[in-house]
Amino acid sequence: MDRRTGPLEGVKVIEVASLAPAPFGCMVLADLGADVLRIDRPDRSGRQQLPPVDPLCRSRRSIRLDLKNPAAVDILLRLVAESDVLVEAFRPGVAERLGFGPEVCAEWNPRLVYARMTGWGQDGPLAATAGHDIDYIAVSGTLEPIGREGERPVPPLNLIGDFGGGGMLLVIGVLAALLERERSGLGQAIDVAMVDGSAMLASFLYGLRAAGGWQDGRGTNVLDGGAPFYDTYTTADGRHMAVGALEPKFYAELLAGLGLDEAGLPAQYDRSGWPELRARFTEAFAGRTQAQWVTAFAGSDACVAPVVSPADAPAHPHNAARETFIDVGGVVQPAPAPRFGRTPAGPPSPPVRPGSSTRAVLAGLGLTPAQITALQDRGAVS
């Protein structure tokens, strides 16, 4: 892998392999220029592996260590001694039992930022139990408001718990700890919990509730699909348009684009009139294709946009102009973000096969070929 460039150039990260939120966070760190070394598990299947294609694994080196083997843990601690960040996503107490918990790592490197990514957090009655995104956002109060009135809550993919409340919060925690280390000279452990992060993402909702601007019951409020001017509509060709005309001046442009006379309609924020508005909007949007509506609202401030699929998003004119999507190793995927004017990040590199950097990394620690072979024979590395 080529040398990483970007604002985090020179920052060394150890990622103990896991799924979804931690890899996403480490992908962001790698995109920003960090040198991320992934610790993958040994492959005992004996099967030929296909080249990985997951964007979450891009821009990494990889070494295979059996962390149940004390000799492998010793290698990990030697890597910790010369790294800035370690990211692990085990259940609470597992890293300690394996021999590389925060206290042990701090003895090897007092400047280490030790980031722990879990769903429930390091403590609390659910901390030792299994869970997934949907469970964490259910308990945090974030899932209940999502869905149509009178229907069940709708899982919003796994974006809120895994990626927003998990991986992105991990990145924020790591960056904050690295910044604080510049003052104190010391690292620290970070408890990143998806239940905490997903709750934090809904902070605005608690403010609206306190101010009387949000009523309990999904699908009945301005931003949850209850308002006809903040919703999606089906077009003549079975596609959809998204409408977000909250402000009166934008709402006026929406009505003009739809060919509707405001004088003959209920007031925008008169909830009793929302069913009529929705019916009129539904009828209007059904009269043209998505492409025709895109043309009709081109250059408008009506806050109307086509609902584009992941397959079509890279070709959308705005995305194409900004190069929001890029090709990495033959896989089209989102480009690194945000963008930096003075220290731009280089292009991501494709995911590597697990363990492809094992010998090079061990040699970098000063191990001889004979010592590396001995570790392989003991099953510590592969």
Query: CA separation (Å) from 196 to 102, 118, 121, 170, 202?
Result: 21, 10, 8, 11, 10
Are 29 and 10 spatial neighbours (Cβ–Cβ below 8 Å)?
A: no
| Region label for 290, one of left (φ > 0), alpha (ψ between -120 and 50) or beta (otherwise) | alpha
Tokens matching residue 122: 């390091």
Tokens matching residue 352: 């590597």
Q: According to DSSP H, which parts of the chain are helical?
A: 21-31, 70-80, 94-98, 102-108, 133-139, 169-184, 194-201, 203-210, 248-258, 274-285, 290-296, 317-322, 358-364, 369-377
Q: How far apart are the first and last CA of the chain?
A: 19
Tokens matching residue 70: 């004390």
Given the residues 132, 191, 240, 316, the one annotated as active site = 132
Q: Indicate the SS3 state at residue 156.
A: coil
Given the residues 35, 66, 162, 231, the one annotated as active site = 162
162 flagged as catalytic: yes
Q: How far apart are CA 66 and CA 42, in angstroms?
A: 6
| Region label for 217, one of left (φ > 0), alpha (ψ between -120 and 50) or beta (otherwise) | left
Q: How far apart are CA 50 and CA 57, in angstroms?
A: 14
Q: Which residue has 């300690």 as its token pair?
A: 96
Q: Which pairing describes strands 230-234 and 240-244: parallel, antiparallel, or unpaired?
A: antiparallel
Catalytically active residues are 132, 162
